């Protein structure tokens, strides 16, 4: 007898699933029994490795799909991949994100389009396209917000603004899509450093401002995602802050 898995029979689509936080979320939901569609844009090798790992554990339980989420015409095919392969879509995790500094005085329209496009526009339109399938499954949308959607990050005006918009989108969609679809967000704090790197002194300063006096991990975020997917049927319109008390 196999132990019961809380997401057995579920299909989950995770955007930006081939790298960083997306990998942790995809692995955690897959380990809970879900079939996973691993979306990526350019990380084909990483996506293929993750899918192979998941399919080795449970045959046919993962597939990958590549597209640029800023291309709205490509989004229906992404949802179709899940529905055609697994017959349903239970959870959409809008995790894919673009992050880089935009100091005021040098912000360009292209930067605005890129950062707002990936962090706010894509989650809105992908959620809208996925809504019929999610409604049929009485499913869930999880938006990856950021603590800097509530408190601005220095030199990241456009990113912080986009994430603030995503927080409001989360609450608005919860109101619009209920009662069939729950919509929640997760706002990570210091769980991964930017790929561009940070000075050690700044890392120490950031960690020192957390109540728990330590850095978190991608697994902390993934556990929150699993809670929302498996154990929170009466939770919607909420943003769970996973930051060790950094935003206190």
Which residue numbers are catalytic? Answer: 159
Nearest to 24 by CA among 214, 236, 224: 224
At 41, list the tokens: 């844009």
Nearest to 187 by CA among 121, 117, 230, 245: 245
Q: Are 35 and 62 within 8 A, CB to CB?
A: yes
Angle in degrees, 0-180, between the axes of helices 157-177 and 109-116, rounded to the nearest 10: 40
Distance CA 187, CA 202 (A): 20
Q: Residue 201 contacts by C-beta under 8 Å, 6 or more apart in sequence?
A: none
Place of tokens 């955007």: 15
CA dihedral sign, ordered 192, 164, 180, 135: negative
């Amino acid at each position: 007898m196999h132990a019961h898995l809380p997401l057995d029979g579920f299909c989950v689509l995770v955007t930006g699933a081939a790298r960083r936080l997306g990998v942790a979320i995809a692995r955690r939901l897959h380990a809970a029994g879900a079939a996973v569609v691993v979306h990526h844009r350019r990380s084909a090798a990483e996506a293929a490795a993750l899918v192979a790992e998941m399919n080795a554990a449970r045959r046919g339980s993962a597939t990958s799909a590549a597209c640029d989420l800023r291309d709205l015409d490509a989004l229906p095919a992404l949802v179709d991949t899940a529905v055609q392969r697994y017959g349903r879509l239970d959870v959409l995790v809008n995790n894919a994100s673009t992050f880089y500094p935009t100091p005021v005085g040098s912000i360009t329209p292209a930067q605005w389009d890129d950062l707002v496009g990936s962090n706010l526009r894509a989650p809105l339109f992908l959620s809208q396209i996925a809504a019929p399938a999610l409604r049929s499954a009485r499913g869930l949308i999880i938006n990856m917000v950021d603590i800097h959607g509530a408190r601005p990050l220095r030199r990241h005006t456009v990113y912080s603004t986009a994430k603030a918009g995503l927080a409001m989108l989360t609450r608005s969609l919860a109101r619009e899509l209920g009662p069939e679809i729950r919509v929640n967000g997760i706002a990570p704090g210091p769980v991964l450093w930017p790929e561009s790197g940070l000075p050690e002194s700044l890392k120490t300063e950031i960690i020192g401002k957390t109540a728990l006096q330590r850095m978190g991990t991608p697994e902390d975020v993934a556990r929150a995602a699993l809670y929302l997917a498996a154990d929170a049927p009466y939770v919607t319109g909420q943003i769970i802050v996973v930051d060790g008390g950094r935003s206190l």
